[in-house]
Structure 1
């Protein structure tokens, strides 16, 4: 909602002013796409409920009930052949507090809430031998949950929708380092793995107490920044046990987005640069130092972690509409974390998301993505030391770990309003970030339906 309504402080452009005078950074007629574009499934399975939904919305309550199922099988390479299934049943709720209470001070305040059920197993763990990079989206780094509370926060816009804030329990990756395009890929939703893995980034469905301040200084720039209370990945997997959550520090992300429109076809682009500082103390990734090397090798002191990222996507052709998803995009990104105390020191990805490439199928979407993951050099160094000393290098580690890569492709097919079926393909290179396990070939199916 925040992105859809946000107006600029100044009716001018910044970087886009360097473009042709016929260009314009933001148009009221070019609607921002929803974050979960793939989950919206182009409508609802039960259109007969539309009058009922409209009556509820008029009284201040809206909802979306979504099922997402993912089955992925390892067909070749990895540890073994086999398939795993995972699913998410989610209800997203929006409460217009002004309409619900009829109390004037609450006009313009909205309460967002998400409750979900997640079940299943991770094919990367069971059959591929990959435990750092997730090969399906839904299973998540937090595992299954019968009824997990995810986002629960209030939102309000000020100065005629020129400034927006949200406060409460929020997943950072709903706001920072994400896009509608990334979340069409299994291995990228809701953000790149180098963003999702560190404990300081609360990743959907995990949430943190905090808030974000949004402002659009000019029509082509959006600035987001916030403060969040951060802790380790929760032992409780329900999202309800707030009192028992441990906290270690603060996360302070800031992200600047340039949104130009190019050419006569008004091709939108999104160019992001972001930085986040996590004040929590993180240990050196070198791990246990063998006694034989204790005199010459020393652990670094615990210190905070920093993350820097650049992400871009650009529409290269427009097809079947004027909204921001009506066309094909190319996209790329780079993420860098503090190398000494982060699982991933670097990640790079590049790909494309193309609409209507097969004649007669104008609304099908084809996506392909290559992503490269580099582990912390301190992780590699520590494992090398333990290998030389004849010690265990760690659980599920069969050689010093360095890097891995994944090629992913999908083809999204809207069957009917409210139902999208997406065949998936993945080629995992260097499972476990070593050359010991053979490269794995995976295929599967993702089904998304909305009530």
Structure 2
């Protein structure tokens, strides 16, 4: 409410509303074959724990557990919301992974327990496909992750043009409900190694691009680029600094519909004070491991064009994230 941003989620906090004190999330069966070259899982699974995700993304507040343009559509279940389905993974070589699956999907849940399996509304199926290349470079074996993915959501989604004023009805028509497609390219690459041989023992650069069907997706495009650097301050070898810039472009149909309503002199929509186009966020954090199992992370965000307009002033957000592993 203070920032004026209602499309880009600026925190990773998920709250349970109503009487529920806990929620069932993942519940699945998993089996590997041929020395882990083939893997199958079936059950209730969050798609963003399998597709378009990485450990690095969840070190950032605005990116956990996948880019916002992937998480926003109802067809991409985001933890702790899960979907019935499964994934088939094949690893023909050490560096190459192909994943594909099918999931039954629906709108955001009205039940907060995660147990209302029979009464959950469903609108279609999601069929993601992702190809990942995971090379190791030079003598230090610096790991990289390069992903290209596509998903087709069979659910019917309405044209985001919204209400067309009567004076424009003859020349402007709403498009029929249609399925939604998502396409993404993501990469991260370790550029130096420090204090260990595991995949987080070093500094990374990362970037990505997401494109959704423009007519019926809140975000038609998203681009992000950043770095996650370990031990850059002398004497603090396990501290991690992260910096990320992310750009969000709204559906051009949303912008078009709001401009029509603005010209007609009627409300453009709740909390909309000008035709919405794009916004961006610059995020930085500094993770400090205080003791084994306890990490304290000061967080900074600079929100540019809140509400995807130039009407609301840019905003600075600061906070503190505490992670404890008992």
What TM-score bracket applies, with the shorter chain setting the length?
over 0.9
Using the TM superposition, give the Cα deviation of residue 144 of structure 1 relative to its aligned residue in structure 2, in angstroms.
10
Are the equivalent residues in 2 in contact too, given 1:353–1:366 (CA < 8 A)? Answer: yes
Using the TM superposition, give the Cα deviation of residue 241 of structure 1 relative to its aligned residue in structure 2, in angstroms.
1.2
Using the TM superposition, give the Cα deviation of residue 161 of structure 1 relative to its aligned residue in structure 2, in angstroms.
2.1
Alpha-carbon distance in structure 2 between the residues aligned to 1:328 and 1:201: 29
Alpha-carbon RMSD across the aligned residues, in angstroms, is 1.4
Return 5+ residue gaps in structure 1 as ranges.
1-125
Deviations 1:344-367, CA, capped at 9 Å, x for gaps = 000000000000000011000000
Paired residue secondary structure (1:363)? coil
Are the equivalent residues in 1 in contact too, given 2:16–2:112 (CA < 8 A)? Answer: no
Using the TM superposition, give the Cα deviation of residue 160 of structure 1 relative to its aligned residue in structure 2, in angstroms.
2.9
What TM-score does the superposition give when structure 1 sets the normalisation length?
Answer: 0.71
Query: How many equivalent residue pairs?
Result: 326
Using the TM superposition, give the Cα deviation of residue 140 of structure 1 relative to its aligned residue in structure 2, in angstroms.
6.8
Match of 2:252 in 1: 377
Using the TM superposition, give the Cα deviation of residue 238 of structure 1 relative to its aligned residue in structure 2, in angstroms.
2.4
Match of 2:163 in 1: 288
Using the TM superposition, give the Cα deviation of residue 244 of structure 1 relative to its aligned residue in structure 2, in angstroms.
1.3
Distance change in 2, residues 1:421/1:254 (3 Å) = same
Are the equivalent residues in 2 in contact too, given 1:134–1:140 (CA < 8 A)? Answer: no
Paired residue secondary structure (2:25)? strand
Distance change in 2, residues 1:405/1:325 (3 Å) = same
Stretches (4+) displaced over 3 A: 140-145
- Structure 1, 226-235 or 305-314: larger mean CA deviation: 226-235
Alpha-carbon distance in structure 2 between the residues aligned to 1:141 and 1:339: 31
Distance change in 2, residues 1:141/1:388 (3 Å) = farther
Paired residue secondary structure (1:146)? coil
Larger Rg: 1
Paired residue secondary structure (1:234)? coil
Paired residue secondary structure (2:275)? coil
Paired residue secondary structure (1:380)? helix
Are the equivalent residues in 2 in contact too, given 1:326–1:355 (CA < 8 A)? Answer: yes
Are the equivalent residues in 2 in contact too, given 1:307–1:337 (CA < 8 A)? Answer: yes
Match of 1:223 in 2: 98
Distance change in 2, residues 1:313/1:298 (3 Å) = same
Using the TM superposition, give the Cα deviation of residue 251 of structure 1 relative to its aligned residue in structure 2, in angstroms.
0.3
Distance change in 2, residues 1:341/1:142 (3 Å) = farther
Alpha-carbon distance in structure 2 between the residues aligned to 1:236 and 1:392: 32
Distance change in 2, residues 1:142/1:201 (3 Å) = farther
Return 5+ residue gaps in structure 2 as ranges.
none
Paired residue secondary structure (2:307)? helix
Deviations 1:262-293, CA, capped at 9 Å, x for gaps = 11111110000000000111100101111111
Distance change in 2, residues 1:142/1:164 (3 Å) = farther
Alpha-carbon distance in structure 2 between the residues aligned to 1:133 and 1:373: 8
Deviations 1:312-362, CA, capped at 9 Å, x for gaps = 000000000111111000000000000000000000000000000000110
Alpha-carbon distance in structure 1 between the residues aligned to 2:92 and 2:139: 25
Q: Does 1:342 align with 2:217?
A: yes
Distance change in 2, residues 1:142/1:368 (3 Å) = farther
Alpha-carbon distance in structure 2 between the residues aligned to 1:161 and 1:269: 20
Using the TM superposition, give the Cα deviation of residue 214 of structure 1 relative to its aligned residue in structure 2, in angstroms.
0.8
Alpha-carbon distance in structure 1 between the residues aligned to 2:232 and 2:45: 37
For residues 64-143 of structure 1, the aligned pairs below 5 Å read: 126-139=1-14
Using the TM superposition, give the Cα deviation of residue 143 of structure 1 relative to its aligned residue in structure 2, in angstroms.
9.9
Using the TM superposition, give the Cα deviation of residue 148 of structure 1 relative to its aligned residue in structure 2, in angstroms.
1.2
Paired residue secondary structure (2:254)? helix
